[in-house]
Amino acid sequence: DAGVIQSPRHEVTEMGQEVTLRCKPISGHNSLFWYRQTMMRGLELLIYFNNNVPIDDSGMPEDRFSAKMPNASFSTLKIQPSEPRDSAVYFCASRGVSGANVLTFGAGSRLTVL
Amino acid sequence: AQSVSQHNHHVILSEAASLELGCNYSYGGTVNLFWYVQYPGQHLQLLLKYFSGDPLVKGIKGFEAEFIKSKFSFNLRKPSVQWSDTAEYFCAVSYNNNDMRFGAGTRLTVKP
């Protein structure tokens, strides 16, 4: 298995633009997590899905952020409009039913909003 | 709200020194406990985990952690660190086998 695949790896955009980050979880995993990592706040849980259903989105900063999981093999995190304070590394992670509650992380998407 | 606290933001050690990184969590029912490591430029990887049983857990690369239920703690230890242990270390807690919350991380710098 190729692991959790995230794209893009790096994105630089201007304030006000829409940003879409993508994640492909490990095949067979039924839970998917989005995290944001910054120097100031560490690793924050934004949202997680079980069986494609959002379970807890209380970590989503504000309405500018939205996440979807239309099927078991794909999820998106969208920021519209983006702001400089959204600059961070966004990680996706997945977990299997029999995975002993262990997350497997993707390589992350580094977002810079100018 | 459930939370995870890591006491040290940045730790600097010389090679062969002993390491202990603190982690405390707020109580919220059944918990699974983890330590993840993030080497420079890489993504997070599992170092060790505790679900039940022996509260002293052995992980990879000589790391271990001890779950002390009465103190809501899960401290990470290594008797003798190496330069290659330079990384950021994250404590994580899963409550009732659902979400996974991470601490703010501790940056470890090992001087050769």
- Tens of pLDDT, residue by residue over A28-53, are 999 999 999 998 888 999 999 999 99
- Which residues in chain B have Cβ-Cβ distances shorter than 8 Å to A45? 99-102
Other beta carbons less than 10 A from residue A26's beta carbon: 19
Kindly state the DSSP code that residue B17 receives in the 8-state scheme.
-
Does residue A23 belong to the interface with chain B, where contact is any CB pair within 8 Å? no
In chain A, which residue ranges form alpha helices assigned H by DSSP?
Answer: none
Compute the distance between CA of residue A36 and CA of residue A38 in angstroms, rounded to an integer: 7
pLDDT of residue A48: 94
Q: Could you tell me which chain A residue has the CA closest to the CA of B88?
A: A42
Q: Mark A36-57 as b/e (b = at least 16 C-beta within 10 Å).
A: bbeeeebbbbbbbbbebebeee
Residue A102 is nearest to which of B46, B99, B103, comparing CB atoms? B46
- What residues does B94 pair with on adjacent strands? B32, B100
Cis peptide before A81 (omega within 30 of 0): yes
Which of A2-16, A26-40, B87-101 is predicted with the least confidence, judged by mean pLDDT?
B87-101
- pLDDT band (50, 70, 90) for residue A2: confident
Q: Could you tell me which chain A residue has the CA closest to the CA of B35?
A: A102
Average pLDDT for residues B48-58, to the nearest whole number?
93
Does residue A106 belong to the interface with chain B, where contact is any CB pair within 8 Å? yes
Q: Are B17 and B81 in contact (CB under 8 A)?
A: yes
Measure Cα distances from A68 to A37, A46, B19, B38 in Å.
20, 12, 41, 27
Per-residue pLDDT reduced to its tens digit, A75-94: 999 999 999 999 999 999 99
Max CA pair span of chain A? 42
- Chain-centroid distance, C-alpha A44: 11
